[in-house]
Each structure stands twice: as structure tokens, then as C-alpha cells.
Amino acid sequence: MPAPRQVYIAVIGVGGVGKHFLSQLAALSTRLSQSPTSPVYLSLILLARSKKLLFSEDFRPLSLQNWEADLAGSNSPLLALPEIIEYLSTAPAKAVLVDNTSSQEVAEVYPQLLKRGISVITPNKKAFSGEYALWEDIFDAALGSGGGEVYHESSVGAGLPVISTLKDLVETGDEVRKIEGVFSGTMSFLFNSFAPVVGGGGKFSQEVKRAKELGYTEPDPRDDLNGLDVARKLTILARLSGLPIASPTSFPVQSLIPKQLENAESGDEFMAKLGDYDADMEKIKREAESEGKVVRFVGSIDVQKKEVKVGLEKYNTSHPIAALKGSDNIISFHTRRYGDSPLVIQGAGAGGELTAMGVTGDLIKVLQRMN
């Protein structure tokens, strides 16, 4: 069967990741359209952000070069999600929705999109780490007759091939026994600075402040320090490994937020008072140093024991997890085939351009499946 000559693309979320994706989409569109044997034409037909919408009523392509100005100047009334689904389902050829948001509301309509034959590509963790019923609905819809494709590589590890690797291991019949590693660029940077393998490091509150100033944390660092981001990623990987994890709060997750500051009214108040509790983290660091180790914030999935946990662990300074640099992620897959030498994926696990690369890679996979 020849490659589809026309594929229609809708994009929700045009911020950091979305902007990089649209840049990559422009390059991909040019390359695919110039194929001498089976050209594919990617037509951008809808752009949406929280308070702006631009779409092509007659499905003629929007400009991939001037989209920012066109969207800013658009007076199109906002469409509700059911209206967007209806619009995409009437496209003259296959349609793909790219969701670059972290919206629960958008995530919950994935099954409806897929049932209508609309493929979904997204880095949105909430769709795949929330209620287990939604997870089942999404993949049941994708497997149904005429269902769209669904890919979410960038929901774990940005552009790192974490999910695709795990899927390959499982689908080729390997036995995944344990997955462990550093799953957060924020927490990697923070602990590589707070407890470097050569010793020293600043006070915990100072390192959190520095990470925030450098843009590694969320605007409110509590959204990183509560461990929930890592827990969401582990929920996704555990489910792909065959464990029916109910939610990211159904297993032990260690929060690094002092209990006295959990109810701080703002991120600024939290940061102003965090230094009052440096002694607690300093004690943990010194205890690890006395054993010749460093402390790191990690996640682990013991598939055989059906145990998942997120929190602080101590590692020898020669351990790969201890030796990470900057904001790198590292994920180790312990399997039957790999035996005592786990399969390791390591590299930058955050950033808009890298996350967008994973999204664009998923789009290429969807186009290949359509072919």
C-alpha cells in the first residue's frame, strides 16, 4: 500500500514544547513532501492554546512559518473539545492530534479521539498515570476496529527512548525484572550539586534556589520536591511492564517538603523558609558520606515483587547513578536476557526541544503505521 499522501495535524499547546514541535514539524513536512517515490503532505489545520484558536474550516493548511502571528491575530471562537473531535473526524484524510499540554481535561478525551480514528501523540503524563480505567479505555480504543494510533514516548524521559525500549523488551518476550534510576532532570541536578561525589556541596535550600534560578524547577519547587512527577513516570513504566498500578499515590513516594511547609501559601514563602530545615537534609548527606556514599533521589520498580517506590537512596560513589552529571537521567532495565549487565539509557531527560523531538519521533512512527 502506498504511503498516505495527506495527513492532517492538529496541535493543542503551543508553549515551550509546542513551539519546538512546530519548528520540527515544518522541517519534517518539507522533507516528506519532497520524497521522490512516495511524498507525504502534512497539513497543519488547527492550533489551540488556553485562550486562542486558529483552525482551517476548509482544511487548507495553515502556515508553519507564520503560525505565531496568525494565532495571535485570530478571532476564531474557541471550540470545546467535543467540537474539535467532530471537526477532526470530518477531515478528508487521516488526522493526528498532538497534545503538548499537561491537561487532564484533554487527556480524558483520548478514547473518544481514538475511537473516531484520530491518532494521538503526546508528552502528557496525566493520561497514562492517572486512573487505571482511563489507561484501559485509551488502549482499548486504540486496539478497536478503525481505532487511531497512540504514542507517548516523551511522557517519560523527554527525548530519551525509554518507553520504546521497554515496549520492545516486553513485546519480544524478555522478562523485565526491575527498572531503576534517576527519572527527573530537576532532582538529578539538585542532588548532583547538593551531594557531589567529590564531597562538599551547598546547603539544600541554597541548591534548590540555584536550580530554580537556572530554570530547572517548576515555578513552585514543591511541584518537584513532592516526588509526584517521578511517581507519574514510574506508574507509566510499571503499567507497561504489566503491573496494574492504580495511581501515582498508590505506592510509597518520599516527599522532600518539610511537613511544616506543606501548607505554605506560595512558592515564595516556601523558598523563604526552606533554609530553616537544612539540618535535616544535611544529616542525611553526612550519614551517606560516612559510609563512602552519596544520596540520590531515585525511583524503582521491582516487577517480580510488584513493588514500586520513589525516594532517597544511598549509592557508592562509583555507581553509575552517583556519577551522573548535570541534569542527566539514567534508567536501568534489569531483564532475563541482559542478566547481570542491565540495559542502561542515559542522557538529558528534560527540555522543550528534546521533549519535542520525542513527539516528532512519535509522529514519524504514526506515519509509518499508516503506511
Q: How close are the terminal C-alpha atoms of the chain, in Å?
A: 7
Q: Alpha-carbon distance 371 to 21, whole Å?
A: 22
Instruction: List active site positions.
Output: 233
Q: Which residues contact 54 (CB under 8 A, 6 or more apart)?
A: 46, 47, 48, 62, 67, 70, 71, 74, 76
The residue written with cell numbers 467532530 in the block is 86
Q: Alpha-carbon distance 22 to 48, whole Å?
A: 12
Label residue 36 exposed, middle or buried (CB < 10 Å: 0-12, 13-18, 19+): exposed
Q: Alpha-carbon distance 284 to 258, whole Å?
A: 14
Decide the pairing of beta strands 176-182 and 328-335: antiparallel
Q: Alpha-carbon distance 294 to 279, whole Å?
A: 17
